């Protein structure tokens, strides 16, 4: 008869939570550009983490380096100093302009990305149809770009970004040029897609209420050279509306800090 192995004494403490998995980690990133007068610093010592599956909005005054940081994360440019780690994952980037090819239909614009991924013709057609359905554009495969409204074009651009099958979606003021009602609808659609897919989203905007409505975290950048000035965790439950009292209240708080940053920069 063998004796039972002694059990470790119970401590009563719950197991330690697993550390978060990061989709992107930005460490001490700076970026400067050569100009006719010498060198201009756009970013200075930026640290930023985006957890897997997290929605983060990047907020700041025009010219603070938000888009530059997004381009660096996307690999379109290299930092002057510091490191950016996406874990080897590719990123999808969506711009303010839809950047659709006007000589192609909505479906063909999406299929172009799928072709670069190596999908066959029949697979490309089926996947493009599926993605158009995901962004609520069922039946639009054969529509030309000029036949689509501004909001519909941005939906196609979003479907094309999703076609890249990336875990990190970078969005550079994608709804800034749209009217208020269309923007409101696309906020709802983007939130739905993020919750359904588990994508990580880094969304650049200069609109404070948009930032609060969408994100789990709002990160504020200082004026040029851009640094991380402050951030807020947004615990307001979804679905959110721009006119919700909690959204409005936090928007006012963030706006005051943003104004303070702008005034401080103006005195430097």
In this structure, the answer to whether residues 86 and 199 fall within a common structural domain is yes
What does the alpha-carbon distance between residue 7 and residue 124 come to, in Å, rounded to a whole number?
57
- With respect to residue 225, please indicate whether it lies within any of the assigned structural domains: yes
Contacts of 122 (CB under 8 A, 6+ apart): none
Give the model confidence (pLDDT) of 107-134 as tens digits. Answer: 999 999 999 999 999 999 999 999 999 9
- With respect to residue 239, please indicate whether it lies within any of the assigned structural domains: yes
- With respect to residue 70, please indicate whether it lies within any of the assigned structural domains: yes
Report the candidate in 103, 99, 97 with the shortest Cα–Cα distance to residue 146: 103
Helix (H) or strand (E) holding 93: strand 91-94
At residue 38, the pLDDT reads 79
What band does 78 get if pLDDT is binned at 50, 70 and 90?
very high
Domain boundary among 123, 150, 165: 165
Domain boundary among 165, 196, 216: 165
- With respect to residue 237, please indicate whether it lies within any of the assigned structural domains: yes
In this structure, the answer to whether residues 131 and 264 fall within a common structural domain is no
Contacts of 227 (CB under 8 A, 6+ apart): 43, 44, 45, 46, 221
- Backbone φ and ψ for 135, nearest 5 degrees, come out as -95, 20
What band does 17 get if pLDDT is binned at 50, 70 and 90?
low
In this structure, the answer to whether residues 207 and 261 fall within a common structural domain is yes
- With respect to residue 82, please indicate whether it lies within any of the assigned structural domains: yes
Q: Does the pLDDT at position 18 exceed 90?
A: no
In this structure, the answer to whether residues 125 and 225 fall within a common structural domain is no
Q: Give the pLDDT mean for 165-172.
A: 93
CATH code of residue 267: 3.40.50.300
- With respect to residue 25, please indicate whether it lies within any of the assigned structural domains: no
Output the pTM of the full model.
Answer: 0.88
- With respect to residue 28, please indicate whether it lies within any of the assigned structural domains: no
Report the candidate in 162, 158, 175, 168 with the shortest Cα–Cα distance to residue 56: 168
In this structure, the answer to whether residues 203 and 236 fall within a common structural domain is yes
At residue 19, the pLDDT reads 62
In this structure, the answer to whether residues 178 and 251 fall within a common structural domain is yes
Domain that holds residue 126: 100-165
- With respect to residue 203, please indicate whether it lies within any of the assigned structural domains: yes
Report the number of distinct structural domains present in the chain: 2
In this structure, the answer to whether residues 268 and 217 fall within a common structural domain is yes
In this structure, the answer to whether residues 155 and 212 fall within a common structural domain is no
Domain boundary among 165, 198, 222: 165
């Amino acid at each position: 008869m063998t004796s039972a192995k002694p059990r470790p004494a119970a401590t009563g403490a719950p197991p330690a939570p697993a550390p978060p998995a990061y989709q992107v980690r930005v460490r001490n990133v700076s970026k400067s550009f050569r100009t006719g007068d010498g060198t201009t610093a756009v970013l200075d010592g930026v640290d930023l983490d985006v957890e897997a599956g997290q929605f983060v909005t990047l907020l700041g005054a025009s010219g603070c380096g938000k888009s530059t940081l997004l381009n660096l994360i996307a690999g379109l440019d290299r930092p002057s100093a510091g490191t950016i780690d996406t874990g080897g994952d590719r990123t999808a980037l969506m711009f303010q302009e839809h950047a659709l090819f006007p000589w192609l239909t909505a479906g063909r614009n999406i299929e172009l990305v799928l072709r670069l991924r190596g999908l066959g013709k029949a697979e490309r057609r089926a996947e493009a149809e599926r993605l158009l359905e995901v962004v609520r554009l069922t039946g639009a495969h054969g529509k030309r770009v000029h036949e689509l409204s501004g909001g519909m074009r941005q939906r196609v651009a979003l479907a094309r970004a999703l076609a890249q099958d990336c875990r990190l979606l970078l969005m550079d003021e994608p709804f800034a040029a749209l009217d208020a009602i269309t923007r409101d609808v696309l906020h709802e659609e983007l939130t739905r897609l993020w919750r359904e897919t588990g994508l990580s989203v880094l969304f650049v905007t200069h609109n404070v209420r948009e930032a609060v409505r969408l994100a789990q975290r709002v990160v504020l950048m200082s004026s040029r050279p851009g640094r991380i000035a402050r951030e807020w965790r947004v615990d307001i439950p979804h679905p959110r509306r721009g006119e919700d009292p909690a959204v409005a209240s936090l928007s006012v708080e963030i706006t005051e800090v943003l104004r303070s940053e702008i005034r401080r920069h103006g005195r430097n």
